[in-house]
Amino acid sequence: MLFSPTDIKTEILVRLGASTTLAYYTDAIIHDWMTQSYRWVCGYKKWPQTEARISTTFASLVAGEDGYLIGVYPEGWKADSIRLLTIGGEKIQKTNFYKFRDFLEDNSGSDEKIYADHGREYYVNPNIDLSGTVTAWGQYTPLLDPDGASTDRTVFTENGEEANEAVVLRALAIAHEREKKLQESIAYLTQAKDLLETLWQKIQAEQFAYQTADDEGMWKRLDVLGGATRDDLFRRDQFY
């Protein structure tokens, strides 16, 4: 079983020794392959193992030159990956960045609870009447310490160990590509992808029974440009 970076490194070396012609691999080379492979595996899908939550203070948001309140994505988080943002416990609605700009330009005094992200920053309506803790839920890319202790664990250990094996296979693909053994490289890469696709199917099978909260409000559509919900804009018998 592969649990730690040490296990992964050892497995890579064992398999390289048995299947390649290169006589020596430096720690620097192996560590680079491990890091590349781990990042590739972590970014292959939106794994539940790479979901994260982080909090900061409302005061940490700074006013940009356009007047918006700006927050910076946490280090290691993927751009555009914030799925839920709350301020003082209140949910802020995510909108398209360009619609967000248009809306605030046409409704400069609106206190609509909306935000948008662009690149590695997120922008909050400066007129919202909220304060306190800013909490974000999203996706990050974990780091792998190739020199980590044998007691260290990857994010997939004991919850998706197929992904640890995929890290090894991806590293082997890199090694064989370096040796110009393209068919072997493709074979290892295909095996890695197959493992990850199988793991993803298992995760989806576990999530199939997720129930939607009985909350009528979550289905309302916000007309960002008009500032009204779809239910407000279109009412039954409104023309009679």
Query: Residues 95, 165: one domain?
Result: no
The phi, psi pair for 143, rounded to 5°, reads -100, 150
Backbone angles phi, psi at 94, to 5 degrees: -80, 135
Q: pTM, whole model, 2 decimals?
A: 0.76
If asked whether residues 14 and 31 sit together in one domain, one would say yes
Cα gap 94→109, rounded to integer Å = 19
Note whether 169 and 129 are same-domain residues.
no
Whether residues 65 and 127 share a domain: the answer is: yes
Which range has the worst mean pLDDT, 4-13, 107-116, 189-198, 219-228? Answer: 219-228
Structure tokens at 139: 């996706």
Under the banding of pLDDT at 50, 70 and 90, the label for residue 158 is: confident
Residue 63 pLDDT exceeds 80: yes
Q: At what angle do helices 162-178 and 5-19 cross, to 10 degrees?
A: 40
Query: How many domains does one find in the chain?
Result: 2
For residue 210, what pLDDT band results from cuts at 50, 70 and 90? low
User: In the listed set 88, 106, 140, which residue is the last one of a domain according to the structure?
Assistant: 140
Report whether pLDDT(225) > 60.
no
**What's the pLDDT score for residue 160?**
87
Question: What is the domain extent for residue 12?
Answer: 5-47+155-207
- Identify the domain boundary among 115, 140, 165: 140
- Band the pLDDT of 239: cuts 50, 70, 90: very low
Is 130 exposed, middle or buried (CB count within 10 Å of its CB: 0-12, 13-18, 19+)?
middle
Quick one: which of 9, 26, 42 has its CA closest to 172?
Answer: 9
